[in-house]
């Protein structure tokens, strides 16, 4: 090579470096290969392919590369997502979201050391990141580092609440404040240090993670039914109906004949009282899996709520071909509502033969017997129901009513107060509480209970008569 040619080559190489092309090629080559199309669902692969093409066309853009990481995470490809987030973090080291996503993926795979390191990176970049502090505290609590956990919980409690994630300006995430989770963590540490964390006498409750705008961003773009249904279930547990519906509708768009998707759509609609729509999805699910007894039971429940009792009975008679207490109980309810007590009683008893602790069957059997004066074992049945399900408000209410009928007013007050505490909108329980209170001379409280019953149900004739009678009492 001549000296001139060599000089030209050096200049060209310098220009190539100066242009940043070497950086783009280097970063692009560090991105993992796109998975085979046949190995995943078509909508999921299409989303990944589009994100991959964008990232490779802008390999120096942390946003474009990070979006590919989110596409992999949304596709439940955690290992690929973590590798891509690492590239995004190298491109933009000052952005805390990339180490944050990596931390969540590490924690998901049980790598607490790597997760702790990544979260410390987040808090060094953003000392007011409430969720990073909360996750750090939870990790340290699991690893037995109580002092470090306590400090991190305090930092989480003091940090500002993150802005909720929104979709289309309409659906905003709901949930408890991060500080509530942090204070609960501190309280748990205090109880553990005092040796008080036994859990005795308390019903376990399912954990609902805090709303996380960065996680929600990944979930909202997902095309994977499994991820969408997982987060829909979490939303249901946390009472976030709008977010649940958004995720279920998205899952339906991706997998309109997916059996689990159809069942979740029906469950969502049942929870919001939209039973006609629920029945349609349950019938579609039945077409996918004929004679699945769970689908039939849920159809029967919604048809019962709609008052379509003949249809409900037909469906539930098919459901009880499988030995199942829930199916027997629901058929009993349908027959009970048609005043076919002897048949209803048989199915309640069959439910209890399958599951002796089926609280609703115990409650309905006791209620039906008590109304007909057929048994002296009613109180025992209610007590069994309440031992099986202490949070069943209806059983507390019916037990209280049965105690009133036996003139055991002080005990009735306790049962009815519990019923009202569990279901503050139960007008009948409020009315019966007023009756019991009046019988023991607690007139002011009785009046308040009757007024509350009328506020909940303005046409409640018994509560109105009871209030008027109380007002006329000298």
The set of residues, in sequence order, having a beta carbon less than 8 Å from that of 466 and lying 6+ positions away, is: 431, 434, 435, 438, 450
∠ Cα 412 413 415 (to 5°) = 65
Predicted pLDDT at 13: 42
- Residue 423 neighbours by CB distance under 10 Å: 18
End-to-end CA distance of the chain: 120
Q: Which of 470, 421, 436, 430 is nearest to 450 (CA)?
A: 430
Instruction: Give the C-alpha separation, 145 to 157, whole Å.
Output: 18
Superfamily classification of domain 25-162+171-192: Tetratricopeptide repeat domain (1.25.40.10)
Q: Please give the helix or strand (H or E) that residue 341 lies within, else none.
A: helix 341-354
Instruction: Give the C-alpha separation, 347 to 363, whole Å.
Output: 13
Q: Which of 103, 70, 74 is nearest to 84 (CA)?
A: 70
Common-topology check for domains 25-162+171-192 and 392-474: yes
- Chain centre to alpha carbon of residue 304: 25
**Domain ranges, ordered by start, for the chain:** 25-162+171-192, 392-474
pLDDT, tens digit, for every residue of 172-218? 888 889 999 999 999 988 887 766 544 444 444 578 899 999 999 99
- Phi/psi at 200 (5° precision): -65, 140
**Whole-structure pTM value:** 0.82
pLDDT, tens digit, for every residue of 147-185? 999 999 999 999 999 999 988 776 788 888 999 999 999
Predicted pLDDT at 299: 97
Between helix 393-405 and helix 409-422 the angle, nearest 10°, is 160
pLDDT beneath 50, residues of the chain: 4-25, 197-204
Superfamily classification of domain 392-474: Tetratricopeptide repeat domain (1.25.40.10)
**Integer CA distances (angstroms), 76 to 108, 117, 179, 225, in order:** 11, 23, 29, 10
Burial 93-106 (b: 16+ CB within 10 A, else e): eebbbbbbbbbbbb
Instruction: Give the C-alpha separation, 35 to 64, whole Å.
Output: 18
């Amino acid at each position: 090579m001549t000296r001139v040619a060599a000089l030209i080559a050096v200049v060209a190489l310098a220009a190539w470096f100066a242009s940043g092309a070497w950086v783009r090629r280097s970063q692009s080559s560090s991105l993992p290969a796109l998975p085979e199309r046949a190995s995943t669902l078509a909508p999921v692969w299409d989303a990944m392919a589009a994100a991959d093409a964008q990232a490779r066309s802008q390999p120096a853009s942390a946003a474009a590369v990070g979006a590919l990481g989110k596409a992999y995470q949304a596709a439940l490809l955690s290992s690929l997502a973590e590798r891509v987030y690492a590239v995004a973090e190298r491109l933009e080291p000052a952005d805390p979201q990339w180490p944050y996503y990596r931390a969540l993926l590490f924690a998901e795979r049980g790598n607490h050391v790597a997760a702790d390191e990544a979260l410390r990176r987040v808090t060094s970049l953003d000392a007011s990141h409430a969720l990073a502090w909360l996750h750090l505290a939870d990790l340290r609590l699991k690893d037995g580092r109580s002092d470090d956990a306590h400090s991190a919980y305090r930092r989480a409690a003091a940090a500002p609440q993150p802005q909720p994630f929104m979709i289309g300006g309409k659906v905003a995430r709901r949930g408890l404040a991060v500080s509530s989770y942090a204070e609960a963590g501190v309280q748990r540490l205090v109880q553990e240090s005092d040796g008080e964390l036994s859990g005795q006498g308390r019903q376990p409750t399912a954990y609902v993670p805090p709303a996380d705008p960065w996680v929600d961003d990944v979930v909202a773009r997902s095309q994977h039914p499994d991820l969408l249904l997982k987060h829909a279930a979490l939303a249901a547990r946390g009472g976030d109906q709008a977010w649940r519906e958004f995720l279920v509708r998205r899952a339906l768009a991706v997998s309109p004949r997916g059996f689990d998707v159809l069942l979740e759509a029906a469950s969502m609609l049942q929870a919001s009282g939209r039973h006609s729509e629920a029945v349609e999805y349950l019938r579609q699910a039945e077409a996918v899996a004929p004679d699945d007894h769970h689908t039939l039971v849920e159809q029967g429940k919604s048809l019962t709520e709609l008052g379509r009792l003949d249809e409900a009975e037909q469906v539930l008679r098919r459901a009880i071909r499988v030995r199942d207490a829930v199916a027997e109980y629901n058929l009993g309810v349908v027959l009970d509502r048609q005043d076919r007590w002897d048949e209803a009683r048989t199915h309640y008893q069959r439910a209890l033969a399958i599951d002796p602790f089926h609280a609703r069957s115990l409650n309905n059997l006791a209620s039906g017997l008590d109304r007909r004066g057929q048994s002296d074992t009613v109180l025992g049945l209610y007590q069994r129901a309440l031992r099986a399900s202490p949070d069943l408000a209806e059983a507390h209410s019916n037990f209280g009513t049965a105690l009133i009928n036996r003139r055991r007013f002080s005990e009735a007050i306790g049962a009815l107060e519990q019923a009202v505490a569990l279901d503050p909108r139960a007008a009948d329980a409020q009315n019966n509480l007023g009756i019991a209170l009046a019988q023991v001379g607690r007139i002011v409280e009785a009046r308040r209970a009757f007024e509350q019953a009328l506020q909940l149900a303005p046409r409640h004739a018994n509560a109105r008569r009871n209030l008027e009678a109380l007002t006329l009492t000298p």
